[in-house]
Amino acid sequence: MTLIDQFTQDVGSALPEKYKQMTKEEMETRVREIKEQLGEKLFIPGHHYQKDEVIQFADVSGDSLQLAQLCAANDQAEHIVFCGVHFMAETADILTTDNQAVYLPDMRAGCSMADMADIDQTERAWKHLMKEFGDTIIPLTYVNSTAAIKAFVGRHGGATVTSSNAHEMVKWALTQKERILFLPDQHLGRNTAADLGIPLDEMAVWDPINDRFEYDGDLQNVRVILWKGHCSVHENFTVQNVENVRKMYPEMKIIVHPECPHEVVKLADEDGSTRKIIETIERAPAGSEWAIGTEMNLVQRLINTHPDKKIVSLNPFMCPCATMNRIDLPHLLWSLESIVEGTPQNQIVVDKQTAKEAIDALDRMLARA
C-alpha cells in the first residue's frame, strides 16, 4: 500500500473533536497516565526534529535509522508510537517483529524528499538508464526514502546510506559498478561525491518528472547520477545566508547538514549529520558562536540547552519542518488512547516482499559502515 493509499484510507480518521477541546495540561497528564499504564509494552521514539511538546514524552530521541534500530532492539514493546514521519515508521515496521505494531500519530506526517522518488518514476528511470549505460550502474538510496525505494535498491544489488556513512557507501558502490544512481536527495549525493574527489562535471541530474537528464556534456563521462530531489528544509539555506552571518558575526562558525546545497556546504566551516551537529555543539567551548544550518526545532532546542554559547539559525527566517510538525500533542494522545481502547489508529504495515528487499539494502549498508 502506498502512502497516498494509506492517506486516502485514513481521511475519515481525523482527529476527534474532544482533543481539540482539551487543555495542554489535561493532555500531558493523560499521556503520562497511559505511559504508566502500558509500561514496557509501549515505546515512543522521537525524532530530533519533533516539537518539544512531543519530544518530552519520547523514550528515546535520535535520527531516523537509529530510532528504527532501537525499536527492533526493544522486544518488550508491543506498541511503537513513532513520532517522526512516514518513511521512518516504515523502517521501524520493517525491522521489528510480527508481534510488534508501529503507529504514526498523524498520517499526514510525510517527507517531501522521500515523496520526490516514487516507485513508478524509479522503475521508469531505471529502464532509461539501462538503455543509456547498460549494466554499469548500482543504486544507492538515502534512508530518507520510502520502503518501496529501499526495496528497489535492494533488488538491484544496492544499499541504503545515511548522512553519517554516505562517504563509505559511495566509495563501496564505485568498487561494484562504474556508476551510481543516488536517490532521492541530489544535495547529499553531490556533496558526498565532491568530497570524494569526483568532479561536478562527472555528475548528472535525472529529472523524474520529464524523464530526462539535466547535463550538458557527454553522458558517457558521468559517474554519479543524482535524482532530482531535495529536502524542503535544507534547500532553503543559501549563500546569502552564509554571507550575512560572516558580516554580522565575524567570529561565528557555521555548521550545516549535507542536505544543504553544495554552494552552502562549500562555504560552511563544517558539515555533517544531525548527530555530528549535536555532538559538535556539545563539545564546543563556552562562549563559542555557532550558526546552524538545519531544522528549526532542533536549532531552538540546542539554543535552549546550551545557554553558555551563542547559537543562531543560519537562516533567521527558517520555519520548522512542516510535515514533521504534523505530530503534535493532541495526535500523540489520540494515538495512545486508541491503543488503550483497543481501536488503534494509523498502523504502518510494510508488505513482506517489500520488507525483505528493503532489508537487503539495509544489510549491505550495515555490513560496511
Q: What is the pLDDT along the chain (369 residues), one digit of tens a residue?
A: 454 444 444 444 589 999 999 999 999 999 999 999 999 999 999 999 899 999 999 999 998 889 999 999 999 999 999 999 999 999 999 999 999 999 999 999 989 999 999 999 999 999 999 999 999 999 999 999 999 999 999 999 999 999 999 999 999 999 999 999 999 999 999 999 999 999 999 999 999 999 999 999 999 999 999 999 999 999 999 999 999 999 999 999 999 999 999 999 999 999 999 999 999 999 999 999 999 999 999 999 999 999 999 999 999 888 778 888 899 999 999 999 999 999 999 999 999 999 999 999 999 999 987
At residue 102, what is the residue type?
A: V
Q: What is the pLDDT of residue 8?
A: 44
124 and 57 within one domain: no
Residue 367 belongs to some domain of the structure = no
User: Within a 10 A sphere around the Cβ of 201, how many other Cβ atoms?
Assistant: 12
Backbone angles phi, psi at 180, to 5 degrees: -125, 150
Q: What is the pLDDT of residue 320?
A: 78
The span from the CA of 358 to the CA of 149, in Å, is 8
Residue 84, C-alpha cell as written in the block: 517522526
pTM (two decimals): 0.91
131 and 209 within one domain: yes
151 and 68 within one domain: no
CATH (domain of 93): 3.40.50.10800
Residue 368 belongs to some domain of the structure = no
Residue 362 belongs to some domain of the structure = no
Task: Choose among 170, 150, 180, 187: nearest CA to 65.
Answer: 150
Count the domains in the chain.
3
The full DSSP string for 200-216 is GGGEEEEETTTTEEE--
245 and 145 within one domain: no
Task: Classify residue 287 as left (phi > 0), alpha (psi -120 to 50) or beta.
Answer: left
Residue 363 belongs to some domain of the structure = no
Collapsed DSSP state (helix, strand, coil) of residue 34: helix
Residue 359 belongs to some domain of the structure = no
82 and 27 within one domain: yes
Residue 144 belongs to some domain of the structure = yes
Q: What is the pLDDT of residue 14?
A: 86
141 and 213 within one domain: yes
* Domain enclosing residue 257, as ranges: 234-313
CA 210 to chain centre: 25
Residue 365, C-alpha cell as written in the block: 549498508
Residue 283 belongs to some domain of the structure = yes
Backbone angles phi, psi at 181, to 5 degrees: -105, 120
The span from the CA of 333 to the CA of 320, in Å, is 21
Residue 365 belongs to some domain of the structure = no
CA 218 to chain centre: 33
Q: Which helix (H) or strand (E) holds 289?
A: strand 289-293
Q: What is the pLDDT of residue 341?
A: 96
162 and 78 within one domain: no
303 and 266 within one domain: yes
Percent helix, strand and coil across the chain, each to the nearest 5 = 50, 15, 35
